Structure 1
Amino acid sequence: METGTASQDDAVGEPVWTGLPPGLLTMRRLLLVVWLGLLAVAAGVLLGLFAGPGWAAFALLPAVLIVWGWVGLGRNWRSWRYAERADDLLISRGVLWRAETIVPYGRMQLVEVTSGPVERHFGLATVQLHTAAAATDATIPGLDPAEAERLRDRLTELGEARSAGL
């Protein structure tokens, strides 16, 4: 995972990608284990009481989903990255279906930093970029709050500078 500052491109013009912090992966995996673990216990108890002990084995299905989700969340987390270039912001994500969003600074109308209660507990924040076209709105989840605020301020500054030139 490479990190860099805004508009740093190497000699070939490749963007310098920044990955998401590991706290996002920790938060998502913990939520997966908690919710599916509770589902497994509830299913095991209810099926064991009302349908018989043989049916309680179906409570293992959420446990299998925990293992599958654990691996999937890791792959998804590694796929997220962003790069600040001179004229736009790149956001890349996706494991099976890769998506790369390019948001020109001059098209940005609003840059928000949000953090729900679970994100705040893990020290994370989300940056959401809004443009005139709803299809180009972009999100960068799970950032350190200081990085999210820095990115918001920088994107706002660059957006104002680029839109003033239109």
Structure 2
Amino acid sequence: MTNSPDPLSPDSASPTTTDTPTGAGAPSGADAPSGTLDRGTYDALLEPRGANRLPLRLAVGDGVWHQISRRYVTVQLISTIAFLVLVVAVALVVALVLHQVWVWIPAGVVTVITVWTLVILPRQARAYGYQLRTDDLVFRRGILWQRLVAVPYGRMQLVDITHGPLDRLFGIAQLKLVTAAAATGVTIPGLTQEAAERLRDTLVAVAETRRTGL
């Protein structure tokens, strides 16, 4: 399979296509800083495995897969551990002060689920990826339960960047793509601030171009 130029790649200044009118494709990335989207990310996208234990390659098109920042795992670990400490503290208060020993049952269930979440978190983070194709953005996540969404540039209505206190501390953000159909909306977590801003500006520009038909 032959890959076409990534819209944000420095080598995509002169994309070649035969079925897209001039100006209707993804904007040129000639002025993009080299490696903006891939700086500080994982080296390889984690692929699901089939019954023969070989990776099941998701051949979805003509772009290049980009991944999220490694710092996303750190932020999620901190917030999840803080939640777990809070659950244990509440359970201790209820059990020792109010003498309600039944509280250890739901607290134990929550603890097991939370610990399992911490264990699989690094693998989940490596399974996030997005691809900038000629006509749309493709987002994927998940290993056992996979989700693959293609969002046409012309249907994007809002591109929003959000980040909490921990996100700002570690320099990451979430990029949310809103379309007319709620089911096709996408939130890409764990982008570096630089990558989120660059991606937002480019997507807004190409979406506006597609809507106006230029």
The answer (yes or no) to whether the contact 1:37–1:62 under 8 Å persists in 2 is: no
The answer (yes or no) to whether the contact 2:6–2:63 under 8 Å persists in 1 is: no
The alpha carbon displacement at 1:20 in A equals 0.9
The alpha carbon displacement at 1:75 in A equals 2.7
> 2:67 maps to which residue?
19
Alpha-carbon separation, structure 2, partners of 1:65 and 1:114:
27
- Unaligned residue ranges in structure 1 (runs of 5+): none
Identify which range, 27-36 or 64-73, moves more after superposition.
64-73
Alpha-carbon separation, structure 1, partners of 2:98 and 2:158:
53
> 2:116 maps to which residue?
68
Q: Structure 1 residues 162 and 40 mapped into 2: Cα distance closer, same or farther (>3 Å)?
A: same
The one-letter amino acid of 1:123's match is: G
Alpha-carbon separation, structure 2, partners of 1:57 and 1:138:
37
Q: Structure 1 residues 42 and 104 mapped into 2: Cα distance closer, same or farther (>3 Å)?
A: same
The answer (yes or no) to whether the contact 2:161–2:173 under 8 Å persists in 1 is: yes
The answer (yes or no) to whether the contact 1:89–1:105 under 8 Å persists in 2 is: yes
Number of equivalences: 160
Q: Which runs of 4+ in 1 moved over 4 A?
A: 54-63
> 2:144 maps to which residue?
96
Alpha-carbon separation, structure 2, partners of 1:116 and 1:69:
20
> 2:164 maps to which residue?
116
1:55-101 deviation line (CA, Å, top 9, x unaligned): 79766655544431211322321221101111110000123321111
The alpha carbon displacement at 1:113 in A equals 1.4
The alpha carbon displacement at 1:34 in A equals 1.1
Identify which range, 74-83 or 58-67, moves more after superposition.
58-67
Higher helix share: 1
Alpha-carbon separation, structure 1, partners of 2:187 and 2:97:
45
Matched, 1:80 2:128: yes
Alpha-carbon separation, structure 2, partners of 1:111 and 1:57:
43
> 1:136 maps to which residue?
184
The one-letter amino acid of 1:119's match is: D
Identify which range, 22-31 or 42-51, moves more after superposition.
42-51
State the SS of the aligned residue for 2:160. Answer: strand
Alpha-carbon separation, structure 1, partners of 2:83 and 2:135:
42
Q: Structure 1 residues 153 and 57 mapped into 2: Cα distance closer, same or farther (>3 Å)?
A: closer
State the SS of the aligned residue for 1:86. Answer: coil
Sequence identity (%): 41
